[in-house]
Amino acid sequence: MRTAAAHPTDTLRPVTTAARLPSPFAQPPAGSYPTGYAGFARGWDGAAWTGEPVRAADAPELHLRHPIGHAFTRPSLYIAVVGVVLGFFVAVIGAGIGSSWVAGIGGGIGVAGPLVAVCLAVRSRLRIGSLHVRSAVLWGAVSGAFAITVSFYAERALMPFLPAGSMASGGPIEEITKLLIPFLLLLLGPAAFKDPRVGVWTVVVAGAVFGIVEGALYVGGALDDLHSTTLTAQQIVQGDAGHTGYIYLTRIWEELGHVFWTGGAAALIWLGAHRRGRAFTGLGALGLVIAIALHTINDTVIAVADLDLFGIVPLLGIVWIVLSYVLWMRPRVRMLVPPDALGTVAKRWRPRLSKRMRAEATTGA
């Protein structure tokens, strides 16, 4: 069923609050738009939603209904599946012939599939193409490469000062380094990087690049001495190929965390900056702290508990990554989905209304 995208209407309440850090592109233009829920409109300042939703009798309910099997028409699904399958065979072959380089390349291919799929999904939902900021991908890639390099050596340098096998340093170091260059662009860079969607997109790319390289290093064996649970896994899984396959499968979902944790933090950092007119805000600091906490819990609690409870099938890790997406990243990033995308995204990706307003929209009260 085809649905019309959201559009401004003359009868809806005009926007009265201008952004202190306006988007240089203002796409869509500032105005009052349907929220996607029947009877409610909200102001859009050209870069983010502003103010509270208000009653608007002519604001339609925007439905997204796809036919059964629509998911199988999405290129991102095939990118993820092909990447995982191809990478697995390359990694296991590399382990079988004793080549850590080949195994690492397989690991990189495998984790790249789902990470690229996530990037494409975020790009589509935030309408990044309409902003015409191609340099965001370049800066995101540079940020990811910078972060993985600094993290690799910084975590090694801290190993003598931590309990044997501890991964407690990973969360703070990796989250801060992934955000550092994008935040400097927000603080000192071109006006385009003050746009919340551009900022989040840059960080998502950085997280994906970080995850791809880290996945390759783990599968190739370069990081074995950093991860105590890897050594335990070697005792559980017999043979180099089997061990490589185990590490490969864990990295497939573990590396998604680098996009989910940091992406959620980026949404709060850039929204806080946009609303307050300054880069340093309490909301942004809160986002960073939560991302570090989620990452650290994953590295120090979830990974160890998985091996103790489930052995070679680390179910807790999968659940933790899913929850990081559903309860952390998506609720933050959905607040940046622009008006012209509301008719093409699922309801769970619309900016959230209060419980009372959702009830009114449902009942038509």
Contact 50, 15 (CB under 8 A): yes
For position 354, what pLDDT does the model report? 67
Q: Which amino acid is at 360?
A: E
Alpha-carbon separation of residue 108 from 154, 299, 306, 346 (angstroms): 22, 20, 23, 31
On whether residue 265 sits in a domain, the answer given is yes
Global pTM exceeds 0.95: no
Q: What are phi and psi of 33, to 5 degrees?
A: -130, 155
Q: Please tell me whether residues 104 and 243 are part of one structural domain.
A: yes
- Reported in sequence order, the residue ranges of the chain that DSSP labels E, i.e. its strands, are 31-34, 40-44, 49-55
For position 216, what pLDDT does the model report? 94
On whether residue 283 sits in a domain, the answer given is yes
On whether residue 122 sits in a domain, the answer given is yes
Crossing angle for the helix pair 196-220 and 257-276, to the nearest 10 degrees = 160
For position 92, what pLDDT does the model report? 85
Q: Please tell me whether residues 26 and 153 are part of one structural domain.
A: no
Q: Please tell me whether residues 104 and 1 are part of one structural domain.
A: no
> Domain count of the chain?
2
Q: Please tell me whether residues 146 and 122 are part of one structural domain.
A: yes
Count of CB atoms situated within 10 Å of the CB of 116: 16
Give the range of the structural domain holding residue 5, as residue numbers without chain letter. Answer: 1-62+350-365
Q: Please tell me whether residues 48 and 189 are part of one structural domain.
A: no
For position 27, what pLDDT does the model report? 74
Q: Please tell me whether residues 176 and 132 are part of one structural domain.
A: yes
Q: Please tell me whether residues 115 and 4 are part of one structural domain.
A: no
Q: Which amino acid is at 126?
A: L
Considering only CA atoms, which of 30, 298, 59, 331 is closest in space to residue 170?
298
On whether residue 70 sits in a domain, the answer given is no
On whether residue 316 sits in a domain, the answer given is yes
Q: Which amino acid is at 30?
A: A
For position 24, what pLDDT does the model report? 44
For position 246, what pLDDT does the model report? 77
Q: Please tell me whether residues 23 and 93 are part of one structural domain.
A: no
On whether residue 341 sits in a domain, the answer given is no
pLDDT in tens, the chain (365 residues): 333 344 433 333 444 333 333 444 457 888 899 988 888 899 999 889 988 888 888 888 886 666 666 667 788 899 999 999 999 999 888 888 878 888 899 999 999 999 999 999 999 999 998 887 889 999 999 999 999 999 999 998 988 887 766 778 899 999 999 999 999 999 999 999 999 999 999 999 999 999 999 999 998 884 443 344 444 434 333 345 666 777 888 899 899 999 999 999 999 999 999 999 999 999 999 999 999 999 999 988 887 776 656 555 578 888 999 999 999 999 999 999 999 888 888 888 988 876 666 555 555 55
Structure tokens at 191: 């006006």
Q: Which amino acid is at 319?
A: V
Count of CB atoms situated within 10 Å of the CB of 209: 26
Q: Please tell me whether residues 354 and 205 are part of one structural domain.
A: no
Q: Please tell me whether residues 214 and 131 are part of one structural domain.
A: yes
Q: Please tell me whether residues 248 and 181 are part of one structural domain.
A: yes
Q: Please tell me whether residues 223 and 135 are part of one structural domain.
A: yes
On whether residue 231 sits in a domain, the answer given is yes
On whether residue 364 sits in a domain, the answer given is yes
